[in-house]
């Protein structure tokens, strides 16, 4: 190696060292000063010139230059924020081959599709906010659980955060700073924001799709409360279920039963009619029961007969025939009452012994007694009624009738006393 070659090699090493030092200065500064950026560009100019007059640069030196150039490209965001490269180019007129003077244009080229990502973000956010706006009021009925409240608030907060980053300058700066702290390069931030918007939209869609399941959960709790006699809690849970899935006729039917247990017969009737509009024909039995309690036996008979025209399941048909027989007893239509109750008994006896109710035998005994029927039939039904007393005493409908009638009697005897809030 000649002395001249040694000098060139030394110059190349010096240029590389200067370039590396200038890059390190930018890398250490969170907000580099313009003069620091200018030093990087000048150092790269010197390095380019030195490489141009170096006949055979060492491979190690070339690899180092490539690595340093990669570092420079990684600092493009900081450089663009600190320097007005367009004005500098007009002053110094660098050649097109000096790509480091045009690093802002290189970055702009890589972000030419940002408008599309931002458009997709806006579409996702509009969809998300519309779903949240329609879902959130539904949780304000029966009280929101901790899990639901946290999920809704966090979802809404994230939506507002990303929306602010899309629609406002301050929001954009905040989101950019946040993503920068997460080590996400600026050139990918539009894509990341779009991804977050899409995730929120999908989660909002998933939440909306899960509303019927959540409504069923509240309904099950309401039914459990109803059986326990916790009527206020039952009402709250069923109100929440209806708010989440208002088209579910079962929920309105159960809500009507809570109203009925509270002796709010007008509200119960409205709930049963809503269930009936949703093709829940079991509501005919409940509407007939209400009419029976109000001693409107003509309306009760009509409801029970309409139910028999629409319902096929043995469980409900048994109740309808039994209640129809009970109603006909009140109307002193003994022959029709006997026919109806015998059909109910036939349906009941087709069930497994442990599932039979037996109450129809007791009503039939009352009918036969009122009709002054033959003693043999009377004694038979009396015996079967006694045999099944333990079963039908635990029957929900029997419990419903006896306690409701007792409470109605108590209210008539002492009208100044408000009805109890729980079943006895």
- Separation CA 317–CA 320 (nearest Å): 5
- Separation CA 86–CA 93 (nearest Å): 10
- Separation CA 249–CA 140 (nearest Å): 21
- As a whole number, mean pLDDT of residues 2-7 equals 49
Share of the chain above pLDDT 90, in %: 30
- As a whole number, mean pLDDT of residues 419-423 equals 37
CA 263 to chain centre: 34
Report pLDDT for 229. 85
- As a whole number, mean pLDDT of residues 166-175 equals 49
Most confident of 199-208, 220-229, 387-396: 220-229
pLDDT digits (tens, 9 = 90+) for 94-143: 988 888 888 877 655 445 566 576 677 777 767 777 766 666 666 656 55
Would you list the domain boundaries of the chain? 3-110, 114-209, 281-393
- As a whole number, mean pLDDT of residues 352-377 equals 83
pLDDT digits (tens, 9 = 90+) for 230-262: 999 999 999 999 988 999 999 999 999 999 888
Residues contacting residue 46 through CB under 8 Å, at least 6 positions apart: 15, 18, 19
Cβ pair 129, 163 in contact under 8 A: yes
Q: With 0-12 CB in 10 A as exposed, 13-18 as middle and 19+ as buried, what is 103?
A: buried
- Separation CA 94–CA 283 (nearest Å): 86
Cβ pair 230, 261 in contact under 8 A: no
CATH match for 281-393 among 1.25.40.10, 1.10.287.1080, 1.25.60.10, 3.60.21.10: 1.25.40.10
Residue 196's pLDDT band (boundaries 50, 70, 90)?
Answer: confident
pTM of the model: 0.57
Q: What is the DSSP string of 228-293?
A: HT-HHHHHHHHHHHHHH-TT-HHHHHHHHHHHHHTT-HHHHHHHHHHHHHTT-TTHHHHHHHHHHH
Evaluate if residue 149 carries a pLDDT over 50. Answer: no
- Separation CA 177–CA 181 (nearest Å): 6
Residue 166's pLDDT band (boundaries 50, 70, 90)?
Answer: very low
Q: 90-104, 155-169, 303-317 — which is least confidently predicted?
A: 155-169
Residues contacting residue 322 through CB under 8 Å, at least 6 positions apart: 340, 341, 344, 359, 360, 363
- 143-182 in b/e form (b: 16+ CB < 10 A) is ebeeeeeeebeebbebbebbbbbbeeeebbeebbeebeee
- As a whole number, mean pLDDT of residues 349-356 equals 82
Report pLDDT for 18. 94
């Amino acid at each position: 190696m000649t002395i001249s070659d040694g000098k060139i090699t030394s110059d190349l090493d010096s240029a590389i060292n200067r370039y590396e030092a200038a890059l390190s200065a930018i890398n250490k500064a969170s907000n580099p000063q313009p003069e620091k950026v200018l030093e990087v560009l000048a150092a790269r100019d010197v390095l380019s010139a030195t490489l141009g007059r170096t006949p055979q640069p060492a491979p190690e030196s070339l690899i180092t230059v490539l690595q340093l150039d990669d570092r420079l490209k990684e600092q493009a965001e900081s450089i663009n924020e600190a320097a007005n490269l367009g004005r500098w180019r007009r002053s110094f007129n660098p050649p097109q081959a000096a790509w480091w003077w045009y690093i802002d244009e290189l970055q702009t080229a890589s972000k030419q599709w940002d408008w599309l990502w931002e458009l997709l973000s806006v579409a996702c956010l509009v969809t998300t906010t519309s779903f949240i706006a329609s879902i959130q009021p539904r949780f304000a009925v029966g009280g929101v659980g901790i899990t639901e409240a946290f999920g809704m608030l966090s979802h809404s907060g994230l939506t507002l955060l990303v929306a602010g980053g899309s629609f406002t300058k301050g929001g954009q700066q905040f989101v950019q700073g946040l993503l920068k702290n997460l080590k996400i390069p600026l050139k990918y931030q539009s894509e990341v924001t779009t991804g977050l918007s899409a995730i929120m939209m999908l989660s909002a869609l998933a939440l909306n799709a899960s509303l019927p399941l959540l409504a069923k959960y509240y309904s099950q709790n309401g039914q459990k409360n109803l059986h326990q006699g916790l009527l206020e809690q039952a009402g709250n849970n069923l109100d929440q279920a209806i708010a989440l899935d208002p088209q579910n006729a079962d929920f309105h039917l159960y809500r009507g039963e809570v109203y009925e247990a509270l002796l709010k017969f007008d509200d119960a009737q409205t709930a049963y009619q809503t269930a009936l509009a949703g093709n829940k024909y079991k509501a005919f039995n409940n509407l007939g029961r209400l009419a029976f309690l109000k001693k409107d036996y003509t309306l009760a008979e009509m409801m029970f007969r309409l139910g028999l025209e629409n319902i096929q399941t043995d469980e409900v048909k048994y109740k309808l025939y039994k209640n129809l027989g009970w109603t006909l007893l009140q109307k002193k239509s003994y022959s029709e009452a006997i026919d109806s109750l015998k059909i109910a008994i036939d349906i009941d006896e087709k069930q497994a012994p442990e599932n039979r109710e037996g109450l129809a035998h007791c009503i039939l005994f009352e009918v036969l007694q009122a009709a002054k029927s033959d003693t043999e039939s009377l004694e038979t039904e009396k015996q079967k009624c006694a045999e099944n007393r333990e079963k039908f005493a635990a029957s929900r409908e029997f419990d419903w009738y006896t306690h409701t009638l007792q409470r109605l009697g108590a209210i008539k005897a002492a009208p100044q006393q408000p009805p109890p809030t729980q079943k006895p």
